[in-house]
Structure 1
Amino acid sequence: MDEAITHLKVPIRFEERDVCLGPDGSVAHVTRVFRMLSGRWKLPILFRLFAEPSLRSSQLLRDIPGISQKMLTQHLRALEEDGLIEREDFGEQPPRVEYRLTEQGRDLMPVLMSVRLFSQRHPEGQEKQRR
Structure 2
Amino acid sequence: MMSEAITHLKVPMEREEKDVCLGPDGSVAHVARVLRMISGRWKLPILFRLFAEPSMRSSQLLRDIPNISQKMLTQHLRELENDGLVVRRDFGEQPPRVEYGLNDSGRSLMPVLMSAREFSRLHPERNTRLSG
TM-score after normalising by structure 1: 0.84
Find the counterpart in structure 2 of residue 40 from structure 1.
Answer: 41
* Secondary structure of residue in 2 paired with 1:16: helix
- Gaps (5+ residues) in structure 2? 1-13
TM-score when scaled to structure 2? 0.84
Shift of 1:124: 1.5
Residue aligned with 2:54, SS:
coil
What is the alpha-carbon distance in structure 1 between the residues aligned to residue 120 and residue 28 of structure 2? 21
- 2: distance between equivalents of 1:21 and 1:115? 22
Q: Quick one: which amino acid aligns to residue 74 of structure 1?
A: Q
- Matched residues in 2 for 1:50 and 1:121: separation? 22
Please give the residue correspondences for 1:1-131 in structure 2 after superposition, counting only pairs within 5 Å.
16-125=17-126, 128=128
Total equivalences in the alignment: 115
Residue 128 of structure 1 aligns with an amino acid whose one-letter code is: T
4+ long deviations beyond 4 Å: none
- Determine the C-alpha separation between the residues in 2 that align with 1:60 and 1:74: 13
5+ residue gaps, structure 1: 1-13
Give 1 or 2 for the bigger CA radius of gyration: 2
Secondary structure, aligned partner of 1:73: helix
